[in-house]
Amino acid sequence: MGMGKIMVQSSTKVLFIFLVTFAITIPCLEAGIGEFDDFLKAEAEEAHKIALDTYIPVPEEVVHDLNVDVHLAMEEANSTRREMKEKHGEGGPCESSNPIDNCWRCKADWAKNRYQLAKCGKGFGRKAVGGLGGPIYVVTDESDNDMVTPKPGTLRFGVVQKGPLWIIFERSMIIRLNQELLVSSNKTIDGRGVNVQIRDGGGITMQFVNNVIVHGLHITNIKNKPGGMIRDSFEHVGVRTRSDGDAISIYGSTNIWVDHLSLSNCEDGLVDIIYGSTGITVSNLHMTKHNDVMLFGSSDKYTIDKIMQITVAFNHFGQGLIQRMPRCRYGFVHVLNNDYTHWQMYAIGGSSGPTILSQGNRFIAPDNNAAKEITHRDYAPPEVWKNWQWSSEMDLFMNGAKFVSSGAPINRAPYKKGFMMKPRDGTAVSRLTRHAGALNCIIGKPC
């Protein structure tokens, strides 16, 4: 790394620290916190410090690296298929072709080495290793009856323990959360090998935490819950107000990776990432039957979300979806190699000048001529949003889909001649997203 590059990165980070430091003291009016006590104030301050340290001054570097990984993964998959066909006259048992899945899915012993998953993250959430280095905790009890002193063996007991913990499930189960589930730092929730459904109750919340992986769950029909006294960590119990009814809520948190989830039909959002969260990857999700799918950025007045950096990759936006895939405020969002087969209003939207880089996606527009446009901009006239950086590169547009670009080209990568790796184009999406959603993994076999 050259000295000039170091100076640019340092000055950029200092600028962002100046811009967002004031936001640490903003009251958490919509955080679900009934009483913002000294413990939570300290947690919030520490979370903001981690977020500022996680922020990447030149996010195109992460974009470049992920695109390289996609090309390598597909070449590896093609080579493996050729070898298997030559040896056995047919393809192999594992059809993985995206760089996250290639890292672990095709290994028959994946269940004996669950920690391998922690090495497979890509994009802005690549540093999330969850419970790596901690013991394995087995959920044996699907009940959720005590919010303050949760019963050992329950999921709620596991997520509030001290230190790193890798949480798995003894058997397939349906968990109906009586209140939102507050996950503490350094945790992995790993649903591989069984069918775990979080449904008909509260959703999963990460607030003022760092380093969490949520993988392999079915989450559906999540409701808002009335709140009350709820434990959010080993050391703290606090008063919570009514929860929104999100499947996944990430609030003021950093280094979070959600992967291979099946999400549908929740009362509010499927994935909300707000209030200064950054270093996030949302990958391999299958989403259906929902209106407001993803919200990135809490409010036009909360400029702290300028540090927000999110990767949305290899997801399938499926039947019954209406809008917000995602809807962004501020920040930098890389939307890569996703399959948009359904929307009713629009696919990607935003306000407050977010930077949105759409690469190698497949967009299949609805038959409604009034909803062919992929993009939607709020609360700004054209003379303002024309300067927002929204770019489409090597996307595949079908059935009249149209992406309206704006702003300057997105490429500040410090490579020779400004080179940044091109994405795999949208024709590859069906392979890259073929296994989106919670997988039906069988222990002892490649997944």
Of 340, 254, 259, 327, the closest CA to residue 296 belongs to 327
Of 428, 334, 331, the closest CA to residue 62 belongs to 334
Bridge partners for 377 per DSSP:
350
Instruction: Considering the candidates 105, 156, 192, 324, report the single residue annotated as catalytic.
Output: 324
Bridge partners for 165 per DSSP:
187
Only one residue has tokens 């004996």, namely: 112
Rounded to an integer, what distance in angstroms lies between the CA atom of residue 438 and that of residue 447? 11
Classify each residue of 245-268 as buried b or exposed e, where b means 16 or more C-beta atoms within 10 Å of its C-beta.
bbbbbbbbbbbbbbbbbbbbbbbb
The single-letter DSSP state of residue 81 is H
Task: Look up 114 and say whether it is catalytic.
Answer: no
CB atoms within 10 A of CB 1: 7
Of 434, 443, 438, 446, the closest CA to residue 97 belongs to 434
Residue 95: in which H helix or E strand, if any? Answer: none
**Angle in degrees, 0-180, between the axes of helices 3-20 and 38-54, rounded to the nearest 10:** 150
Active site residues: 324
